[in-house]
Amino acid sequence: MFPLLLFLFSSRNPQRSMIHPSRPTTQASPDEFELTVAEELLRLQSSDAEFKATLRDLYITAAKEVDCGSGRKAIVIYVPYKLHKAFKAIQHRLVRELEKKFSGSHVVIIAQRSILGKSYARDQKTKGLRPRSRTLTAVQEAILDDIVYPTEIEGKRTRCKVDGSKLLKVYLNDKDKVNIETKLGTYAVVYNKLTNKNVSFVFE
């Protein structure tokens, strides 16, 4: 899992990047690319009236570049799960502005989620089975939803090939076809990098 970086955007300290206390000391500093993304978010906050209000109390946990082949790059931005809904409210415009800055790169925003293994056991205060939302399957499904957001997934089908490999075929609502058709290859590569699963996207 990517390191837990917290870049806090607030009117009290607009130029300061903060590292979460739980981040491992061996990975205490954000890398140059993460600082570049944080700087661009701060620039948007300071230069745009809409973003000034919405980005003020939002922060990201990590940002990574993914090589999509043929010279193409994707930017994966992780945000805290509790702030994901707030990011969704501005995601369409935020992604558009970031893609202008990082020309040639598609931007994907994903909520940071944790996976609990089958051996997970609750303590005495929280008895019960592990939450389904924390299983490997549920987290991978949620990642898929995040990658294609705001486009809706209409259906899924898994194709098993003779060599034993599997391909997940995802059917998307075609209302956003014009806007995301050129991004489908990027979506497939990003999902594969994050889950090690092959996927293809088609419009319903």
pLDDT (tens digit, 9 = 90+) per residue, 91-112?
999 999 999 999 889 999 999 9
Mean pLDDT of 4-13: 42
* Predicted model pTM: 0.82
Comparing 71 with 105, which gets the higher pLDDT?
A: 105
Cβ-Cβ contacts under 8 Å for 28 (sequence gap 6 or more): 19
Please tell me the least confidently modeled range out of 14-18, 126-130, 135-139: 14-18
Residue 50 has pLDDT above 90, yes or no: no
Comparing 197 with 128, which gets the higher pLDDT?
A: 197
Tens digits of residue pLDDT in 159-178: 998 888 999 999 999 999 99
- CA dist 184 → 139, 151, 189 (Å): 20, 11, 9
Amino acid 39 reads E
CA distance 204 to 201: 10
Comparing 21 with 142, which gets the higher pLDDT?
A: 142
DSSP 3-state of 185: helix
